Structure 1
Amino acid sequence: MTTSESPAPGTDGPVVRTASGAVRGLREQGLAVFRGIPFAEPPVGAARFQAPRRARPWDGTREAYAFGPPPPQEPGVLGPSARPAGPTGDDWLTLNVWTPDPDPSAARPVMVWIHGGAYKLGHGGQPGYDAQHVTRDGDVVVVTLNYRVGMEGFALWSGAPANRGLLDQVAALEWVQENIGAFGGDPARVTVFGESAGAGSIASLLAMERARGLFHRAVAQSVPGTFFSAELARDMAAALAAEAGRQPTAADLAAVDPRRLAEAGQALSAKMARYVDRWGQAAPTVTPFSPVVDGEVLPTTPWQALASGAAREVDLLAGHNRDEFRLFMFIGGMSGTITEERAADVLRLLAPGGEAGERAYREAFPTASPGELFARVQTDWLFGMPSLRLAEAQLAGGGRSHVYELTWPAPGGDGVLGACHGLDIPLLFGTFGADLGGLLFPGGRPTPEAEHLSTFIRRSWTAFARTGDPGWPAYDTGTRPVQVLDAEPKVTPYPEEKSRRIWEGFDFRALPLLD
């Protein structure tokens, strides 16, 4: 059985025996790399829209040379040219391993990357997630994985468990516990790390009983504040199913090709703004997918769970970028176009207290332009304050957390991007010319400053995975020490104090369905 569509590169690669069978990887630049290892059965046929099922064993040695096929999804913010390339098929639930040496006695720290993509796109085999630099520089074992996204993974269908994408992540972490020792990793030192929807997934895993004990440290980069109530998710599911001409049930939708469903999800995303009177703050996000607080898979929001001590035994590193929303303004052609009226509308929709929140922002930032206020409140609401408050909730629950903020500006985008959303990915992985990195770094060429900061971030993240200490003081609510990631990284009190005060006391709850 093979995962490679091209002729096998050879038979001299490293072989590791997993619980399901043997896999042969490749030697690449001093590392052993294994791609496309199944951790669950293909979620099709009778398994469609159901919880993941354990991968079936295979005979012989499976060639782990190529990434598994990405799950069905939209093309993403970079357009149709960014559609996932590579193998096709239904074996979506696979993972990939980079290791310095698959020696079971090595017991290296393990880092499991959970990708972002608005819960509707992305996969573990993206070029931007090539883990060779993290693995080599940190002397760690790195795992990247696929999970179901969009309609397959997060829509709330009748007859299907909620949060199937999160259940896929749990299944991958169970695979890590069972098998990573054979790849030279230590199952007692597993760190999950992820960005955007990946960070939101990690926040969810921290709150989930069934994920307890599967990881020991967590890095949450730009945690989204969007979690759906069951009522909101059901209403969105009805609209999603209607786009496909079906009822919102697993039985009815199982007859629809998964790629056709992805197109239906994209169609609804494009017109979500029409639903603001019904879906409220969720409408402007243009994604009808988020973790659902269903009371079973996800019993409550991560902020409530952590404050109650649900993950106090897990070391947490959380942070965000200073100018998160500028990326979406740039891609959407909004830079320099925001009117006073539009800024006022979004301030009243998103800021705490509606009109009172708008006044608070205008008083805190009296010289800000409409475009700056528009970007500031969306950065704070969507990523900045949820990330900071996750760290604070961990403290309230008796745990420990470290906090960072990325303030170094991206060199691309004619200077308007700033320290935008996603900039931390190429800096962390050193993949400056891949995926979003090609936009943020013109020509894919990092500046000396970028190289320096990239090395600092990798060393900090891998040190945290090894010891629980990234190299700066743990956060507290007295002095609020934060690692500022800039050309010259330094520790200061939390830089966004004006925003923090506006949001102080705000409770991030599951977004409701409006009457």
Structure 2
Amino acid sequence: MTDTDFETTADLVEVTTTAGRVRGRWRPTTGGRGNPRSAAFLGIPFAEAPVGELRFQAPVPKAPWEGVRDALEFAATAQRGDPGVTLIPEPSVEGESTLNVNVFTPSPARPEQGTGLPVLVWIHGGGYFAGSPASVWYDGRNFNRDDVVTVSISYRLGFDGFGWIEDAPSNRGVRDWLLALEWVQQNIAAFGGDPSRVTIAGQSAGGGAVLTLLGMEKAQHLFHGVYSISGALADVAATRAETFGRGLATAGGVEPTVAGFSSLSEERILELQKKATQLGPSSVGTMIEEGLPLGPRIDGDLLPRSTREALAAGVGADKPLVLGATDDEFTMVFSDAAKKLRWVPRSLLLGKLGLPKAARRAYLAANADVTGLGNARVAGRLLTDRMFRSALLKVVADRGAAPTWVYRFSWPSGRFGFAEHCLDVPFFFDCLDGPAIEPLAGPNPPQQLADEVHGAAVAFVTGGDPGWPRHEGGAGIVRVYDVPTRDVRDAYASVRPLLGESS
């Protein structure tokens, strides 16, 4: 028995892509306004399965198929099992064909030239080694309700996607993003979208991914706006990537080549990768200073220079950008250790997290809202600022006069009492009525705030302006999402003590 045995003909809808015909399913939207229904086409392959001889190679476009292909369920994901790190419900789906797109549309028909709907392409997060596009939170139904076609894409993760291998193409996960975006350019009109109005968006590693693409000269024709949520740039140095790859090969007892790594099972490489990337007390400082060892790397090809250098040189300056972060992205890291940290001298703690002595007094004064709440909250704010919020301000400065809007998500979770990592994602997708919200947001999160966050995203995707003033100068206007939401000048002033001459 197949999925279609449970459907009526009216529930199903078909679209012809460049590789063949696909069958999706109609579902209702929520919120009681706009388009009442959304068509979901799940698990459409944009590339051949990256296994066998294709495992460590650039992605190969999917070959055409005969007949109609069901696109009624999420396809295989690159994530295996439960990595135990994602705060968003991101299930793993077994299988080999992991390079897929999910398309959500209110109007699955090819429009007349130039009349298609704007398009949002979502890249999931997960530290470049975890995460899944098969999350119910990433369902585009309510963007469809508001006349935005939505696409979520998959990509290879961890060492398979980003690891250095002597004779393999670099940045294979990045190449997956590029091919998926090429697929959007070639096919989205068939789903009612306008390929000349594509906004790329993502959160955490996905937010870093869209910034990487913004600074990539070879990607400029593939999108027209960028929305970065808690963006975590990688920009792994070539030497660091090679050292990591050689170390993994040595640990696996193989040569650092395609043949060598191909002799190891997927499970074995995941085991070696996990061991090589485990974070302990001694490695936190390295992670803060250098970032994660697996992610987009400066390879002299796709990424000839760092993202910041590219942005400062004007790459992507013609494209509007919205970016922001939550107030306490990584404070949860210290929550379980709050009692122990009470007895650690604050100066020692701040030193371990890399705050120079000369900046400590000014930093603590600027963050008076958390200094009285204990060492765990102070450490969490500092880790957040060093990994996310200071980097955000540097990107804004690198962009100069390019059209840029900045926000802060400050509403404190009813579960944790602060605005933690991932909290803003269900507000962005307007899915507060969905599953697994309460463990992250607490009971009854404010729908009005979701209306504001989601509405600004729709306005940006549709018209290139989220609805508050651009960030101009060193102390520009910032949209602060809270109850009530407000626009504040220099709302990231508390981060400035971390920014030295090199910022």
Structure 1 length as normaliser, TM-score?
0.87
**Residue 62 of structure 2 corresponds to which residue in structure 1?**
55
Q: 1:18 to 1:387 in 2, by over 3 A?
A: same
Q: CA RMSD in A?
A: 2.7
Q: 1:363 to 1:83 in 2, by over 3 A?
A: closer
Deviation at 1:340, TM superposition (A): 6.4
Deviation at 1:242, TM superposition (A): 4.2
CA separation in 2, counterparts of 1:11 and 1:245? 55
Q: 1:365 to 1:193 in 2, by over 3 A?
A: closer
| Identity fraction in percent | 33
AA matched with 2:42: R
CA separation in 2, counterparts of 1:242 and 1:16? 48
In structure 1, which of residues 404, 417, 436 is the aligned counterpart of residue 407 of structure 2?
Answer: 404
AA matched with 1:94: N
Mind listing any 5+ residue stretches in structure 1 that lack a counterpart?
Answer: 508-515
**Residue 34 of structure 2 corresponds to which residue in structure 1?**
none
Deviation at 1:81, TM superposition (A): 12
Q: Is the 8 A contact 2:15 2:109 kept in 1?
A: no
**Residue 96 of structure 2 corresponds to which residue in structure 1?**
90
CA separation in 1, counterparts of 2:101 and 2:345? 43
In structure 1, which of residues 316, 325, 331 is the aligned counterpart of residue 330 of structure 2?
Answer: 325
Deviation at 1:121, TM superposition (A): 0.6
- For residues 188-223 of structure 1, give each alpha carbon's deviation from its aligned partner in whole angstroms, at most 9, with x where no partner exists: 000001100001111111111221110000000111
Deviation at 1:6, TM superposition (A): 8.5
**Residue 13 of structure 2 corresponds to which residue in structure 1?**
14
CA separation in 2, counterparts of 1:183 and 1:79? 31
**Residue 511 of structure 1 corresponds to which residue in structure 2?**
none
**Residue 147 of structure 1 corresponds to which residue in structure 2?**
155
In structure 2, which of residues 394, 406, 417 is the aligned counterpart of residue 389 of structure 1?
Answer: 394
Q: Is the 8 A contact 2:87 2:422 kept in 1?
A: no
CA separation in 2, counterparts of 1:101 and 1:145? 20
AA matched with 2:74: F
- For residues 370-417 of structure 1, give each alpha carbon's deviation from its aligned partner in whole angstroms, at most 9, with x where no partner exists: 3233112211111111122222222x2x4210000001011113x3xx
**Residue 454 of structure 1 corresponds to which residue in structure 2?**
450
Helix, strand or coil at the partner of 1:119: coil
**Residue 335 of structure 1 corresponds to which residue in structure 2?**
338
Q: Is the 8 A contact 2:201 2:226 kept in 1?
A: yes
In structure 1, which of residues 126, 133, 138 is the aligned counterpart of residue 135 of structure 2?
Answer: 126
Helix, strand or coil at the partner of 1:25: strand
**Residue 232 of structure 1 corresponds to which residue in structure 2?**
240
Q: 1:14 to 1:159 in 2, by over 3 A?
A: same
Q: How does 1:267-346 map to 2 (within 5 A)?
A: 267-271=275-279, 273-274=281-282, 279=286, 281=288, 287-330=292-335, 333-338=336-341, 341=344, 344=347
**Residue 164 of structure 1 corresponds to which residue in structure 2?**
172
**Residue 350 of structure 2 corresponds to which residue in structure 1?**
347
Q: 1:197 to 1:79 in 2, by over 3 A?
A: closer
Q: Is the 8 A contact 1:76 1:82 kept in 2?
A: no
Q: Is the 8 A contact 1:433 1:441 kept in 2?
A: no
CA separation in 2, counterparts of 1:343 and 1:463? 44
CA separation in 1, counterparts of 2:184 and 2:380? 39
CA separation in 2, counterparts of 1:346 and 1:203? 31
Deviation at 1:158, TM superposition (A): 1.5
CA separation in 1, counterparts of 2:251 and 2:345? 29
AA matched with 1:266: K
Q: Quick check: 481-490 or 64-73, which moved more?
A: 64-73
CA separation in 1, counterparts of 2:89 and 2:148? 30
Q: 1:485 to 1:72 in 2, by over 3 A?
A: closer
Helix, strand or coil at the partner of 1:237: helix
CA separation in 2, counterparts of 1:467 and 1:17? 28
Q: Quick check: 152-161 or 401-410, which moved more?
A: 152-161
AA matched with 1:422: C
CA separation in 1, counterparts of 2:64 and 2:429? 33
AA matched with 1:89: G
Q: Is the 8 A contact 1:74 1:120 kept in 2?
A: no
| Residue 122 (structure 2) pairs with residue 113 (structure 1) | yes
CA separation in 2, counterparts of 1:423 and 1:256? 38
- For residues 289-344 of structure 1, give each alpha carbon's deviation from its aligned partner in whole angstroms, at most 9, with x where no partner exists: 222122222122222111110011111001111111113333xx233432565754
Mind listing any 5+ residue stretches in structure 2 that lack a counterpart?
Answer: 29-36
Structure 2 length as normaliser, TM-score?
0.89
**Residue 471 of structure 1 corresponds to which residue in structure 2?**
467
**Residue 439 of structure 1 corresponds to which residue in structure 2?**
439
Helix, strand or coil at the partner of 2:398: helix
| Residue 51 (structure 2) pairs with residue 44 (structure 1) | yes
Deviation at 1:269, TM superposition (A): 2.6
**Residue 33 of structure 2 corresponds to which residue in structure 1?**
none
**Residue 430 of structure 1 corresponds to which residue in structure 2?**
430
Helix, strand or coil at the partner of 1:377: helix
AA matched with 1:67: F
**Residue 510 of structure 1 corresponds to which residue in structure 2?**
none
CA separation in 2, counterparts of 1:262 and 1:434? 31
CA separation in 2, counterparts of 1:141 and 1:71? 24
